[in-house]
Copies of this chain bind each other. A is one copy, B any other.
């Protein structure tokens, strides 16, 4: 079940999905086996997980979607560049990428223990071979099966070295969809042969590396099961995953509350169907009490065998026994690995051009998905402060700000709505569950051409999407300062702006870019 990482009920940001403390106490004492957490800081989460363990009166699975470091969700812990950054680095420096992926896993593991989590819901084992994927995207470790698998396996080893459970997801592969299963049920029309070639290898590698759990995807794969999504399919879970791939660990569903499942089945029936199909754990049923009642009824009616559920419970116990203890003081929870954060940013930063952006009176046009919800832009964020120090005034454009587009394909940017002078473009674009990637529909290529033609482009930084960077890079004049960082966090902003001469200590970057061709 899902809980807020905050301690008090009134602090919950999503009360529709996050149970009250009274509900949590009741359900934990009734034996619910795990909690998924979101919200609150690293320090608060350390207190919260201690509280939940006390309410459970024993070992409890405590997990979170901290694929990009615990600091991605819980302020104060390490916030790392997204996994796809290492997939990209792997093309240039495979050994370094693999070593960094294992340290990445180790960092997630240490931070997870510090906040009291024992289960990291990663690695994503999906192969992001569809750049329009709105929900996987930079969360994947690569866009090629072998690279994604090798890096995911290294991440698993890193986590295991810290005694923290891992989870390969979203089985059998969510990379090649352009739908968000939080909202709809995607269909993958691929043949079994194609699945063997593209989707399955990373899962095989993660299993070989000893991954603790596999999470099912809410996806229809007619080649495997024409009726049921993977999450509810015994052909996929019992057949492919258990028998063919030989996976012995925990099988957990993706959140059953997602529209792709909750919209098609009741909260109770979805849980029963998932267990029938071979899942050990059901994650976030739309209503925990209804799910429990439905499972109990299914056992009484013989629909579910008690031995199967006992085998699942045994797998959970075995997984928990393998976990390291989490006994750190809450005061020590917010201990980010700044060295690794920085090394990952530096290793995956790309830049080109030589001129420094022209100085004063210009506009710092910052594109984000939602102006009011941009945690990577706190007060004093480098993307705002550094251009400001160089004389640029900031304007934030997003889905929730006034429109900046003219509708004219040749000159799409409404330049008359901005002050005169050069424009520094900073584009924060990546896929986001629930929100997709609004940026993909915006004509940034044409806008860039328009600014270049008007001699008003001061510089470009893309944060997040390599696909947008690949699209825009060829359009840039040779000397124009431009940079790409897979990460969007403040450290990445400081590094990218430093690389184009807008650093706190302006100057050329320390290391020269190399083989990837991005110095053209």
- Provide the A270-314 mask, 1 if CB < 8 A to any CB of B, else 0: 000000000000000000000000000000000000000000000
- Provide the A397-434 mask, 1 if CB < 8 A to any CB of B, else 0: 11011111000000000100110000000000000000
Whether the pair B418, A402 counts as a contact (CB closer than 8 A) is yes
- Provide the A24-55 mask, 1 if CB < 8 A to any CB of B, else 0: 00000000000000001101100100010000
B-contacting 9-mer, from A7-15, A92-100, A191-199:
A7-15
Whether the pair B335, A380 counts as a contact (CB closer than 8 A) is no
Partner of A396, one of B338, B401, B403: B401
Partner of A76, one of B11, B373, B394, B414: B11
Chain B residue contacts of A374, Cβ below 8 A: 372
Closest residue of chain B to A364 (Cβ to Cβ) is: B400
Chain B residue contacts of A75, Cβ below 8 A: 11
Whether the pair A11, B44 counts as a contact (CB closer than 8 A) is no
- Provide the A100-117 mask, 1 if CB < 8 A to any CB of B, else 0: 000000000000000000
Chain B residue contacts of A404, Cβ below 8 A: 402
Whether the pair A402, B402 counts as a contact (CB closer than 8 A) is yes
Partner of A334, one of B8, B334, B394: B8
For residue A88, CB closer than 8 A to chain B, the reply is: no
Interface centre among A14, A40, A371, A384 (most CB of B within 10 A): A371
Given known pairs A47-B331, A335-B8, A374-B372, the reply for A402 and B394 (CB within 8 Å) is: no
Interface size class of A (residues with CB under 8 A): 35 or more
Whether the pair B401, A371 counts as a contact (CB closer than 8 A) is yes
Whether the pair B336, A8 counts as a contact (CB closer than 8 A) is yes
- Provide the A70-102 mask, 1 if CB < 8 A to any CB of B, else 0: 000001100000000000000000000000000
Chain B residue contacts of A76, Cβ below 8 A: 6-8, 10-11
For residue A330, CB closer than 8 A to chain B, the reply is: yes
Chain B residue contacts of A418, Cβ below 8 A: 402-403
Chain B residue contacts of A395, Cβ below 8 A: 400-403
Of residues 57 through 78 on chain A, the ones whose CB sits less than 8 Å from some CB of chain B are 75-76
Chain B residue contacts of A373, Cβ below 8 A: 379
For residue A226, CB closer than 8 A to chain B, the reply is: no
Partner of A331, one of B14, B40, B51, B331: B51
Looking at chain A's contact residues, the main secondary structure is loop
Chain B residue contacts of A13, Cβ below 8 A: 378-380
Partner of A330, one of B330, B394, B400: B330
Closest residue of chain B to A380 (Cβ to Cβ) is: B13
- Provide the A365-395 mask, 1 if CB < 8 A to any CB of B, else 0: 0000001111001111000100000000011
In the assembly, what is the distance between CA of A81 and CA of B13, in Å?
21
Give min CB distance, A408 to chain B, whole Å. Answer: 14
Closest residue of chain B to A377 (Cβ to Cβ) is: B372
Give min CB distance, A377 to chain B, whole Å. Answer: 5
Interface centre among A14, A334, A394 (most CB of B within 10 A): A334
In the assembly, what is the distance between CA of A414 and CA of B418, in Å?
13
Whether the pair B379, A336 counts as a contact (CB closer than 8 A) is no
Partner of A43, one of B44, B384, B402: B44
In the assembly, what is the distance between CA of A169 and CA of B381, in Å?
32
Chain B residue contacts of A51, Cβ below 8 A: 331
Whether the pair B378, A396 counts as a contact (CB closer than 8 A) is no
Chain B residue contacts of A394, Cβ below 8 A: 400
Closest residue of chain B to A419 (Cβ to Cβ) is: B403
Interface centre among A330, A334, A372, A379 (most CB of B within 10 A): A372
Closest residue of chain B to A363 (Cβ to Cβ) is: B402
Chain B residue contacts of A384, Cβ below 8 A: 372
Partner of A44, one of B41, B338, B379, B403: B41
Give min CB distance, A362 to chain B, whole Å. Answer: 15
Chain B residue contacts of A338, Cβ below 8 A: 10
Chain B residue contacts of A372, Cβ below 8 A: 371-372, 374, 377, 384, 396
In the assembly, what is the distance between CA of A6 and CA of B371, in Å?
25
In the assembly, what is the distance between CA of A374 and CA of B414, in Å?
26
Partner of A11, one of B47, B334, B377: B334
In the assembly, what is the distance between CA of A40 and CA of B42, in Å?
11
Give min CB distance, A39 to chain B, whole Å. Answer: 10
The 3 closest A-B pairs by CB, nearest first: A371-B371, A8-B334, A401-B401
Q: List 28 A-B contacts (CB under 8 A).
A: A6-B76, A7-B331, A8-B336, A10-B76, A10-B334, A10-B338, A11-B75, A14-B379, A40-B41, A41-B41, A41-B44, A43-B43, A44-B44, A371-B371, A371-B372, A371-B396, A372-B372, A372-B374, A394-B400, A395-B400, A395-B401, A395-B403, A396-B398, A397-B401, A397-B402, A401-B401, A402-B404, A403-B418
User: A372-B372, A403-B417 known; 5 other A-B pairs, CB under 8 Å?
Assistant: A8-B335, A10-B334, A41-B41, A41-B44, A43-B43
